[in-house]
């Protein structure tokens, strides 16, 4: 295994959204032993001509079918993520905040032996790796995550506009909290003038209100007087955000503490 440090480097981890997606899969199948994947998945791949030790060479008819299918699959996954119709995806009624771990299971099991496929798609289109601890509810231990893709009016977050969000007093994070901004197209961190498009309780100089609440601004330019509590966005780009709570406390789990919504400033 060769480990490469890509911190601070431009690095593409996005899978293709065209026919070459299947060539990527074929590469994995050829490189890895068959027992690296389950028989069900290998059977599906074999049905479209991807088998270990055999060339992947679909004819024009099959190539056209696969090209259309990857476009439909990509569009479907985007809709599931950015405009989920699953009620259980949301932490609160009439709120943008949603959970990446629907059902509280890292295996996305709606009930024993039954997998919630849309929930799994939602997570893995958005993120990459997962562990049991990420989905577990442990007071004061580990972390919790909440994602938002729209503003208080249900409109997609726009990098050309400025928004304000209020975190009420006594933010339930024993260790620290943070916002990280992501690009809707790449689902990777938004590329801005800063190396890390984020803000949190560990940032030097962040302004905390007297009642321990915090107001954070997101926009292409810093609002006058609020530079310390500002995260840059990019004009013409859609974005989304993850709120992370490290060492989450009981008010998060019993919903007695609720983050504000993204309010349009201008």
> Which 8-state DSSP code applies to residue 18?
S
Q: What is the mean pLDDT of the chain?
A: 94
Pick the CATH number of 86-264 from 3.30.460.10, 2.60.120.600, 1.10.340.30, 1.10.3720.10: 2.60.120.600
Rounded to the nearest 5 percent, the helix, strand and coil shares of the chain are: 30, 20, 50
Residues of the chain with pLDDT under 70: none
Cβ contacts of 84 within 8 Å, gap of 6 or more: 90, 98, 118, 122
pLDDT of residue 203: 94
pTM of the model: 0.90
Pick the CATH number of 20-81 from 1.10.3360.10, 3.40.50.300, 1.10.10.10, 1.10.357.10: 1.10.3360.10
pLDDT of residue 1: 84
How many CB atoms lie under 10 A from the CB of residue 248?
24
Kindly report, as residue ranges, where domains of CATH 1.10.3360.10 are found in the chain. 20-81
Task: Report pLDDT for 7.
Answer: 82
Q: How far is CA 95 from CA 25, 117, 149, 177, 241, in A?
A: 37, 23, 10, 20, 14
Long-range contacts of 102-105 (CB under 8 A, 24+ apart): 104/135, 104/136, 104/137, 105/135
What does the pLDDT read at residue 186? Answer: 92
Provide CATH 2.60.120.600 ranges for the chain. 86-264
- Report the helix count and the strand count for the chain, using DSSP H and E: 6, 10
pLDDT of 103 reads: 87
């Amino acid at each position: 295994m060769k480990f490469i440090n890509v911190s601070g480097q431009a690095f593409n981890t996005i899978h293709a959204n065209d026919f070459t997606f299947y060539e990527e899969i074929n590469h994995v199948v050829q490189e890895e032993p068959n027992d690296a994947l389950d028989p069900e998945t290998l059977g599906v791949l074999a049905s479209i001509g991807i088998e270990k030790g055999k060339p992947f060479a679909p004819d024009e008819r099959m190539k056209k079918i696969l090209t259309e299918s990857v476009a439909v699959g990509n569009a479907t996954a985007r809709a599931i993520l950015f405009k989920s119709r699953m009620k259980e995806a949301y932490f609160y009624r009439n709120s943008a905040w949603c959970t990446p771990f629907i059902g509280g299971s890292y295996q996305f099991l709606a009930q024993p032996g039954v997998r919630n496929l849309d929930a799994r798609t939602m997570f893995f289109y958005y993120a990459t790796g997962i562990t049991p601890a990420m989905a577990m509810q442990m007071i004061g231990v580990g972390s919790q995550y909440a994602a938002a893709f729209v503003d208080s009016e249900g409109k997609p977050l726009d990098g050309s506009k400025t928004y304000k969000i209020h975190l009420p007093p006594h933010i339930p994070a024993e260790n620290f909290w943070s916002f990280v901004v992501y690009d809707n197209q790449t689902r990777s961190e938004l590329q801005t003038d800063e190396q890390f498009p984020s803000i949190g309780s560990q940032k030097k100089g962040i302004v905390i209100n007297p009642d321990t609440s915090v107001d954070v601004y997101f926009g292409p330019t810093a609002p006058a007087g609020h530079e310390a509590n500002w995260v840059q966005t990019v004009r013409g780009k859609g974005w989304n955000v993850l709120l992370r709570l490290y060492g989450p406390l009981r008010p998060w789990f019993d919903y007695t503490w609720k983050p504000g919504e993204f309010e349009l400033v201008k």
